[in-house]
């Protein structure tokens, strides 16, 4: 297929088939419709959500959950408990219930039924229940309490509706009617009764008004008499009180005149005392003011002096702080220099220690080399015997002569008297060398001359010539004057 391998083509075909099956079986139920899926296993119901059914094996049925209005009218007059034939006209709003249990019942009883068939079925059930309730109540109750009668009808019809899976949203009675005109006559009787009651109420009201008016006039007259009596009594009391008040006023006036004189004298004394006290207070105040001025002046002077002292103290503190900072910086610099110098000395000491260690190592190596050379030389001397000793002696002899002549080399001038000359000087040097050889003989017990003589004799006796290295010391005689 299009050049694809067989497994890939089969996979594409299977995928496409699965997609088609999924699309065919995909369902999405609206919130006002119940999708009832049946055919395999348990029945499923979808309301307002998506789902999936197995194509060709499961079917989908729909039940509308919308509210339906049903007009309920009695087909013929229904007698009340008072045996009055009444025709009732009502209206109900119903719907298939969304409750799962009721919805299952609706699926069993209403599935496949058209809306007209459903309305007809519900109308018959409602009419039967309405006839039952109307026959159990009176006409007056029915007319005066429509809501109560409608509630009774609703409560009576709910169990029957639940068996069908239907929910009664509400039920209202719109009209009552009887062919004998009983309801109309009840209305006329009520009107006349209301009119009668109104006239009685009016007469009672007029009577009550007349009684209330007379009572009010009587009460008003009594109140007026009582008021006049109280006014007269109050006038008499007022006259008595006025007379008493006049006597008290005259007495008070006399007392006031006397008191005025006394008060005037006391006032004069008080004025004089007050004046004297005022003078004293004024003087005290002046003294206090003067003291305050002095105190203010002292505080001002003290403030100026303190301010100057504070300024000087602040300056001294700042100078001390600056000096302290300078000293700290100098100390830090000296400490830094000391640290650097200590580090330099430490580095120098370490270098010196390293050099000494190297020198010691060199000396040690040199000593080891010299010791090894001496050891080898000793072994050689041991093998060579006296010849080696003579060789060593001959090697050391020029150094001995040189050391003997060294004092003469340090001499700028030699003054000799008598038979002195350069030959004599050389002879003295050689004598010094001979004395050194003699000292060597005495200290080591080795007689160099005897050794040389023996060696030479041995060589002569053996017919061989000894070629021994000899080094003649070069002695530079100082200039003789």
Structure tokens at 113: 């039924």
Residue 458: predicted pLDDT: 61
Rg of the chain, C-alpha, whole Å: 79
How far apart (Å, rounded) are the C-alpha atoms in residues 90 and 73? 6
Is the pLDDT at 211 greater than 50? The verdict is: yes
Tokens 């006025």 belong to residue? 242
Residue pair 32/64 in contact by the 8 Å Cβ criterion: yes
Q: What average pLDDT does the chain have?
A: 76
pLDDT grade, residue 397 (50/70/90)? low
Q: Is the dihedral of CA 291, 296, 301, 305 positive or negative?
A: positive
| Overall average pLDDT of the 383-410 stretch | 64
103 CB neighbour count, 10 Å cutoff? 20
Token look-up 């050889």 returns 437
* Mean pLDDT, residues 17-31: 79
Asked if residue 208 has pLDDT above 70, the reply is yes
Q: What is the DSSP string of 151-182?
A: HHHHHHHHHHHHHHTEEEEEEEEEEEE-TT-H
Query: 66-180 maps to which CATH number?
Result: 3.30.479.30
Buried b (16+ CB within 10 A) or exposed e, 362-394: eeeeeeeeeeeeeeeeeeebeeeeeeeebeebe
pTM > 0.85: no
**What gap in Å lies between CA 423 and CA 435, rounded to an integer?**
18
Token duo for residue 257 = 């005149």
Q: Which residues of 176-185 are buried (b: 16+ CB within 10 A; e: fewer)?
A: bebeeebbee
- pLDDT-derived band at 192 (thresholds 50, 70, 90) equals low
Lowest mean pLDDT among 53-67, 114-128, 217-231, 370-384: 370-384
pLDDT at 465: 45
Domain ranges of the chain: 6-61, 66-180, 385-481
Q: How far apart are CA 252 and CA 219, in angstroms?
A: 47
In this predicted structure, what is the pLDDT of residue 473? Answer: 40
Q: What is the DSSP string of 316-358?
A: HHHHHHHHHHHHHHHHHHHHHHHHHHHHHHHHHHHHHHHHHHH
Who contacts 179 (Cβ-Cβ below 8 Å, separation ≥6)?
77, 85, 87
């Amino acid at each position: 297929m299009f050049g694809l391998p067989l497994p890939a083509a089969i996979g594409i075909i299977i995928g496409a088939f699965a997609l088609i099956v999924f699309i065919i079986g995909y369902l999405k139920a609206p919130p006002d419709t119940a999708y009832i899926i049946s055919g395999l296993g348990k029945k499923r119901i979808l309301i307002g959500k998506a789902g999936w059914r197995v194509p060709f094996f499961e079917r989908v049925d729909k039940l509308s959950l919308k509210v339906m209005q049903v007009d309920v009218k009695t087909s013929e007059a229904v007698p009340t408990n008072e045996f009055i034939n009444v025709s009732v006209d009502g209206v109900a709003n119903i719907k298939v219930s969304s409750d799962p249990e009721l919805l299952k019942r609706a699926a069993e009883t209403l599935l496949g039924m058209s809306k007209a068939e459903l309305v007809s079925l519900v109308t018959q059930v409602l009419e039967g229940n309405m006839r039952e309730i109307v026959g159990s109540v009176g006409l007056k109750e029915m007319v005066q309490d429509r809501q109560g009668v409608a509630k009774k009808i609703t409560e009576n019809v709910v169990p029957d509706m639940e068996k069908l899976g239907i929910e009664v949203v509400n039920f209202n009675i719109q009209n009552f009617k009887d062919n004998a005109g009983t309801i109309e006559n009840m209305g006329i009787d009520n009107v006349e009764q209301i009119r009668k009651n109104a006239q009685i109420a009016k007469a009672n009201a007029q009577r009550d008004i007349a009684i209330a008016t007379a009572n009010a006039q009587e009460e008003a007259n009594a109140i007026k008499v009582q008021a006049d009596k109280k006014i007269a009594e109050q006038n008499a009391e007022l006259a008595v009180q006025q007379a008493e008040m006049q006597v008290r006023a005259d007495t008070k006036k006399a007392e006031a005149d006397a008191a005025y004189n006394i008060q005037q004298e006391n006032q004069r004394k008080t004025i004089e005392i007050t004046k004297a006290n005022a003078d004293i207070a004024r003087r005290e105040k002046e003294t206090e003011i003067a003291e305050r001025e002095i105190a203010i002046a002292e505080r001002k002077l003290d403030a100026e002096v303190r301010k100057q002292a504070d300024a000087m103290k602040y300056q001294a503190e700042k100078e001390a702080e600056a000096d302290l900072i300078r000293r700290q910086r100098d100390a830090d610099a000296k400490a830094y220099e000391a640290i650097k110098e200590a580090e330099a000395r430490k580095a120098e000491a370490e270098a010196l220690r390293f050099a000494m260690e190297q020198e010691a190592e060199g000396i040690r190596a040199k000593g080891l080399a010299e010791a090894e050379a001496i050891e080898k030389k000793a072994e050689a001397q041991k093998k060579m015997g006296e010849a080696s000793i003579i060789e060593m002696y001959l090697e050391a002899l020029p150094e001995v002569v040189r050391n003997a002549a060294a004092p003469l080399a340090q001499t700028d001038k030699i003054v000799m008297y008598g038979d002195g000359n350069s030959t004599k000087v050389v002879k003295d040097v050689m004598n010094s060398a001979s004395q050194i050889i003699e000292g060597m003989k005495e200290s080591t017990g080795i007689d160099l001359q005897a050794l040389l003589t023996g060696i030479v004799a041995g060589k002569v006796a053996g017919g061989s010539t000894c070629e021994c290295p000899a080094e003649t010391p070069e002695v530079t005689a100082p200039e003789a004057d």
